[in-house]
Amino acid sequence: MQNQMESSEPRCYRCTVPAAAKFFIPADMKTKPFMISFLTMLALSLPAAESTNRLHFPLGGFSIAPLEAPPGETTRQAVMMFLPSSGSFAANVNVQVQSYSGTIEEFTTLTLKQLKDVGAKVIEQRKTGNSGLVLEYSGELRGQPLHWYARAEKAGGHVYLATATGAEQDWAKQSALLKACVDSLRCEGGEEDAAPAAPRR
**pLDDT (tens place) for every residue of the chain, 201 residues total:** 434 444 333 333 333 333 333 333 334 444 444 444 444 444 444 444 455 789 899 999 999 998 988 888 888 999 999 999 998 899 999 999 999 999 999 999 999 999 999 999 999 999 999 999 999 999 999 999 999 999 999 999 999 999 999 999 999 999 999 999 999 999 886 554 433 344 444
Task: Find, among 97, 75, 76, 99, the residue nearest to 198 by Cα.
Answer: 99
Q: How far is CA 36 from CA 22, 29, 42, 47, 117, in A?
A: 12, 7, 10, 18, 67
Residue 197, in any domain of the structure: no
pLDDT, residue 68, reads 85
- Containing domain of residue 35, as a range? 2-50
Question: Are 172 and 98 members of one domain?
Answer: yes
Indicate whether 150 and 94 sit together in one domain: yes
Let me know whether 95 and 141 are in one domain.
yes
| Residues 45 and 74 occupy one common structural domain | no
Task: Determine the pLDDT at residue 6.
Answer: 40
- Which value, in Å, is the radius of gyration of the alpha carbons in the chain? 23
Consecutive H or E run containing 166:
strand 158-167
Pair 166, 87 in one domain:
yes
Does 59 reside within a domain? no
Domain shared by 42 and 80, yes or no: no
Domain contains 25:
yes
Pair 13, 95 in one domain: no
Does residue 165 share a domain with residue 84?
yes
Task: Establish if 194 belongs to a structural domain.
Answer: no
Model's pTM, two decimal places?
A: 0.68
Q: Are 96 and 75 in contact (CB under 8 A)?
A: yes
CA dihedral 48, 52, 57, 61 (to 10 degrees): -10
Q: How far apart are CA 61 and CA 191, in angstroms?
A: 31
How many folded domains does the chain comprise?
2
**One domain, residues 106 and 134:** yes
Backbone phi, then psi, for 190, in 5-degree steps? 145, 180
State the pLDDT at residue 190.
53
Q: Environment class of residue 87 by beta-carbon count within 10 Å: exposed (0-12), middle (13-18) or buried (19+)?
A: exposed
Confirm if 73 and 127 have CB atoms less than 8 A apart.
Answer: no
Same domain as 81, residue 146 = yes
The length of the chain in residues reads: 201
| Amino acid at the residue 92 | N
Quick one: pLDDT at residue 12? 35
130 and 88 together in one domain: yes
Q: Residue 196 falls within a domain, yes or no? A: no
Predicted confidence at residue 170, as pLDDT, reads 97
| C-alpha angle 159-152-188 in degrees, rounded to nearest 5 | 65
Q: Mapping DSSP to helix (H, G, I), strand (E, B) and coil, where does residue 106 land?
A: helix
CATH code for the domain of 74 = 3.40.1000.10
Q: Given this model, what pLDDT does residue 136 score? A: 98
The number of angstroms, rounded, from the C-alpha of 116 to the middle of its chain's C-alpha atoms is 28
Beta bridge partners of residue 145, listed in sequence order? 140
Residues 45 and 86 in one domain: no
Identify the pLDDT of residue 4.
41
